[in-house]
Structure 1
């Protein structure tokens, strides 16, 4: 069956922006049009498709089942057209670009090495990296704003409908500054963990579940005095200038531990920490630049699993 020629590019842009913003008013601002114009365009699209794409609620708008189904095709369609236009602009088709979402818990170790190797082999390649909460990055991947998302996402409900490729498993650890009182506490250290402030990933994230599990396995009630953040830089700085304990993924702190800037507390248990991997939108074909990025990422991840990196 031929495509309905009544569907225009503006219909798709309107649909995607409402889905991204979850608000008619914010979508109108983003597209620089009036809210009545947004509503009219969406109504036209729904009439053409003979389906309701959004539900209105107190907290904004959300996709219906039909909207979710249409999203699988609308996002890749718009992105494919953008890529086609960009490929014809002067110089851009020669360079190639990959847009990668990276969870903060994995950005500091593998990604710099991957980008370095890529630039040694493909001097003109552009790597655009976005960071943020997993739910946000996966939503950007779903609508075609990102080509890949790297991190721990297998427990996230937002991963449904996307594909995940396992790279390696990473355990959690507990680190402190050099000279911390617990380092001299010996066997008493475990029972005193609750006496010190904690640095934890934010509530609701996949990595927070693993952090909480570590204390459950140790049989220790965690301190109520906490800093909750997904920023490795903030976590590191706070731990270095205080007596706080940082429940961190191994890959976020292994270089600091190796250099002696942080010290790992020896615990009787180890929390697995989950699967780190590549998340893709299977409905959207990956560019040559994206394939090259994945190839090098797999190469570096294998070296990491085998202990050859870093």
Structure 2
């Protein structure tokens, strides 16, 4: 193929001669000899099968084929230069960080594995993880203070100017300590009403799913409620009380698998919701951010396969 025969030295020599309209000046700019420049031009013309300069005129004047090829050669060199600069910036010790907003419901499951994978690339751009309520993270993303937000998909009206990539889906669970009175027993809806519940606060991305579930199955209002998005607080509170924690499965999956927590016998299949990446529409990510997005996809693929 012709393209495989073209070398960087061919493009550099051609663009330099075209810009300077002189082989001699191009040679000085490139810090090589005139014969080397002339040879590179001849080789390029042989590869393309056309003359790039009009030999009938004095100086280095582009032919119509030369004019046609110049814009592509310049674009290629420009793209290569930008690529080199981007890689250099990404590997520099003081590169700008990759700023990730993570809802608490994914910071415990998806993100740690993706960050470990990202760190293995040895990039200079450190990951900066910010957690908080969904509205806060979304506003930070819109303002450009975050590069990526990871969590459940928001309601359509909140997605203007944003794009969402679905990675996997997960349901809500009703989690309790392993020795809870309701753990491992058949469950009647009225039994829930006697116990305190930890719920996501209004405005959190999973609260609508929680409210819809309670309403759809006519579940009683809990005896008392604590509203929180703090995973550390909730985990400690559940360990020390009979509270029921209503939360995304991924947050407590390790606790459930270890046997420290138990899942109440409530079918929450209807609460399954999409978890994924939210980005600003039409905004290109930095090279390090692209690497992190790739690793998020890989980590999510393993979750789907589990």
TM-score (norm 2): 0.67
- What does 1:125-274 correspond to in 2, within 5 Å? 125-155=125-155, 157-183=157-183, 186-274=185-273
* Bigger-Rg structure (1/2): 2
Give the aligned partner of residue 274 of structure 2: 275
Could you tell me whether the CA contact under 8 Å between 2:189 and 2:220 is conserved in 1?
Answer: no
Deviations 1:88-115 (A, max 9, x none): 9x7424xx53111001111011111111
Distance 2:174 2:181 in 1: 14
Distance 1:293 1:200 in 2: 31
- What does 1:56-95 correspond to in 2, within 5 Å? 87=89, 91-93=93-95
Structure 1: any 5+ residue segments left out of the alignment? Answer: 1-83
- How many residue pairs match? The answer is 221
Deviations 1:263-301 (A, max 9, x none): 111114423332111111123220000000000000000
Give the aligned partner of residue 303 of structure 2: 304
Distance 2:227 2:190 in 1: 22
Distance 1:103 1:266 in 2: 26
Q: How many Å apart are 1:231 and its aligned residue? A: 1.0
Structure 2: any 5+ residue segments left out of the alignment? Answer: 1-85
Could you tell me whether the CA contact under 8 Å between 2:183 and 2:264 is conserved in 1?
Answer: yes
Could you tell me whether the CA contact under 8 Å between 1:148 and 1:278 is conserved in 2?
Answer: yes
- What does 1:108-127 correspond to in 2, within 5 Å? 108-122=108-122, 124-127=124-127
Deviations 1:208-249 (A, max 9, x none): 111222323432112141010011111111111111111110
Give the aligned partner of residue 79 of structure 2: none
Distance 2:139 2:267 in 1: 38
Could you tell me whether the CA contact under 8 Å between 1:166 and 1:278 is conserved in 2?
Answer: yes
Question: Which secondary structure does the structure 1 equivalent of 2:281 belong to?
Answer: coil
Q: How many Å apart are 1:152 and its aligned residue? A: 1.2
